[in-house]
Amino acid sequence: MPRLLLRNLAFSLVLVLFVSCKTYKLTDAKPVQSSEKTVENLYFSSGEDYVYKCQMDIYKNHVSGILIIKKLNERTHRVAMTSDFGNKLIDFEISENDFKLNYVLPDLDKKIVINFLKNDFQQLLKRQYHVNESFENVHSKIYLSKVDHKTYYLFFNKENGLLKEIIYTRNNKEKIDFTFEAKKHIFADSLNLQHKDFKINIKLFQITENEQN
């Protein structure tokens, strides 16, 4: 990956400090009674490697490569990304409360870049959510979970029970929208991570066994 592109990527992330985001409000849904006390995101709960093609768009910068997520234990995952040419870009271990950086390419070794990746993957890999309120609309069962100043809205498909969206807010401001396409509870075939407060979008697409061979 060209070094100039990586420098532009790091520089673009600095712009996040100057952009605000919108207040989020759940619409077109009604409150319902539910016996659910907790709900889970199981998409990264298997001990097998999760291997994806990764596309990142940060302002006018486009970065692509291979992303591997591996569950190390019940609390911790290891995340590694390489370029399309096989060069390692970053490698870290992450849990809900901890972060260990194993390697980062020097051009990406900027505090704001590391914090951006740490926050995004902590939200993506968060597994268990305490349910504070329950809602539903035509297509989804919706669970609201609050932790300090963070609020999560989890949307489960009524027909197959699969998690299809998580909206993460902080201080009532919408931060990240995660949308999933999946056929089973433990593996998302694709993921779209869209920031709402600045122009960052990450897309992950499953690499099939044939593509890996």
Summarize pLDDT for 152-181 with one digit per residue, the tens.
999 999 999 999 999 999 988 899 999 999
Q: Which residue has the higher pLDDT, 204 or 2?
A: 204
Q: Look up the domain containing 93 and give its range.
A: 3-208
Question: For residue 3, what pLDDT band results from cuts at 50, 70 and 90?
Answer: low
Question: What CATH number has the domain bearing residue 179?
Answer: 2.50.20
Q: What is the pLDDT at residue 198?
A: 75
Q: Flag whether 111 is in a domain.
A: yes
Q: Taking residues 40-46, what's their average pLDDT?
A: 96
Q: Taking residues 11-15, what's their average pLDDT?
A: 50
Q: Taking residues 76-84, what's their average pLDDT?
A: 95
11 exposure class (CB count in 10 Å sphere: 0-12, 13-18, 19+): middle
Q: Flag whether 108 is in a domain.
A: yes
What's the pTM? 0.86
Question: For residue 17, what pLDDT band results from cuts at 50, 70 and 90?
Answer: very low
Q: What is the mean pLDDT of the chain?
A: 87
Q: Flag whether 122 is in a domain.
A: yes
Question: For residue 108, what pLDDT band results from cuts at 50, 70 and 90?
Answer: confident
Q: What is the pLDDT at residue 56?
A: 87
β-strand pairing of 133-136 with 30-31: antiparallel
Q: Which are the contacts of 98, defined by CB distance < 8 A and separation ≥ 6?
A: 75, 76
160 is written with which tokens?
A: 């197959």
Phi and psi torsions of 47, nearest 5°:
-80, -10
Q: What is the pLDDT at residue 211?
A: 46
Alpha helices (H) in the chain, listed in sequence order: 3-14, 111-125, 209-212
Residue 25 to residues 9, 74, 133, 144, 174: CA-CA distances in angstroms? 31, 33, 14, 12, 9
Q: Taking residues 139-157, what's their average pLDDT?
A: 95
The residue length of the chain stands at: 213
* Cβ neighbours around 12 below 10 Å, total: 18
**DSSP character at residue 208:** P
Say what percent of the chain tops pLDDT 70: 87
- Distance, in Å, from the CA atom of 139 to the CA atom of 159, rounded to the nearest integer, reads 8
- Distance, in Å, from the CA atom of 101 to the CA atom of 22, rounded to the nearest integer, reads 32
Total of domains in the chain: 1
The per-residue pLDDT for range 182-193, each reduced to its tens digit, is: 999 999 999 999
Q: Flag whether 213 is in a domain.
A: no
Q: What is the pLDDT at residue 181?
A: 97
Query: Amino acid identity, residue 99?
Result: F
Q: Taking residues 36-50, what's their average pLDDT?
A: 95
R_g of the chain computed on alpha carbons: 17
Question: For residue 212, what pLDDT band results from cuts at 50, 70 and 90?
Answer: very low
Are 167 and 150 in contact by the 8 Å Cβ rule? The answer is no
